[in-house]
Amino acid sequence: MEDERIIQLFFARSESAIGELHNKYGKTCHKLSANILRNIQDAEECVNDAYLGVWNTVPPTHPNPLLTYVCRIVRNLSIKRYRSNTAMKRNSTYDVAISELEGCLASDRTVEEEVDAKELKGMLNAFLDSLSRENRVIFVRRYWFSETYEQIAKRVGLSEKNVSVRLTRIRKQLREYLEERGVAV
C-alpha cells in the first residue's frame, strides 16, 4: 500500500492504518530498534510505542516521507529505552558508534548552539550530499541505524576493515568540513 493511502487511513482514524504501517515498514522499524537495544523484547515494545506515537500525531501531522517519520519515532524511543536500560553502564555497539562521532561534533550545547542547530543540520546534510552514494550509505547505516561494521560490510559488499577505514576517513572529512565553516569541533 502506498504511503499516502496509509496516511489517509490514519486521518480517517481507521485501525487498519497501524496494520498497514506494520506490513510496509515493520521489519525496518524492528531492525532499527534492535540495532540500538540489542534486545528483541525491548525493540518490540519500542516499535509498538512508535505505532501509538504515529496514531497520536497523524493527524494533524502529515508526514512526508512516512518511513523517515516512523523511523525517527522508533529511533528516539529506542535511544530513550537504551539510556534507561544502561544508565551508568557503557557496553553496546550504540555507545561505540556515537563515541566515534564525538571528535567531529561539539558536545556542550549552549543557547547559541541550540539556535545554530538548524544551520548545523543544513551543513551535515550538505556534507552527506557531497559524499558518494556508497559512503553516504555506510555513514548513515552506522550513525543513524546503528549497524555494526559487519552488517554494513555485508550490505555494501566490502570487508569490515574497509568499512572501518572509510568511516574513519569520512569522520575526518566531516571534521574538516565543519571547521572550514566555522563550527568548533
CATH code, domain carrying 78 = 1.10.1740.10
Q: Name the residue with higher pLDDT: 184 or 149.
A: 149
Q: Are residues 98 and 169 in the same domain?
A: yes
Closest to 45 (Cα-Cα) out of 1, 81, 18: 81
What tens digit of pLDDT does each residue of 62-110 get? 998 999 999 999 999 999 998 888 765 555 566 667 667 766 665 555 5
Tell me, what's the pLDDT at 106?
A: 55
Tell me, what's the pLDDT at 170?
A: 95
Question: What percent of the chain shows pLDDT beyond 70?
Answer: 84
Q: Are residues 150 and 168 in the same domain?
A: yes
Helix 66-85 vs helix 3-11: crossing angle, to nearest 10? 70
Q: Are residues 101 and 151 in the same domain?
A: yes
Is the pLDDT at 54 greater than 80, yes or no? yes
Cell of 160: 569490515
Q: Are residues 66 and 110 in the same domain?
A: no
What tens digit of pLDDT does each residue of 103-143 get? 666 555 555 555 567 788 888 999 999 999 999 999 999 98
Q: Are residues 16 and 70 in the same domain?
A: yes
Domain boundary, last residue among 35, 63, 85: 85
Tell me, what's the pLDDT at 22?
A: 96
CB < 8 Å & 24+ apart, contacts of 123-126: 123/177, 123/178, 123/181, 123/183, 124/174
Tell me, what's the pLDDT at 85?
A: 82
Is 185 inside any structural domain?
A: no
Q: Are residues 98 and 176 in the same domain?
A: yes
Domain boundary, last residue among 50, 85, 120: 85
Cell of 8: 489517509
Domain boundary, last residue among 66, 85, 104: 85
Domain that holds residue 118: 93-180
The enclosing domain of 103 has a CATH number of 1.10.10.10
What pTM did the predictor assign? 0.67
Domains held by the chain: number: 2
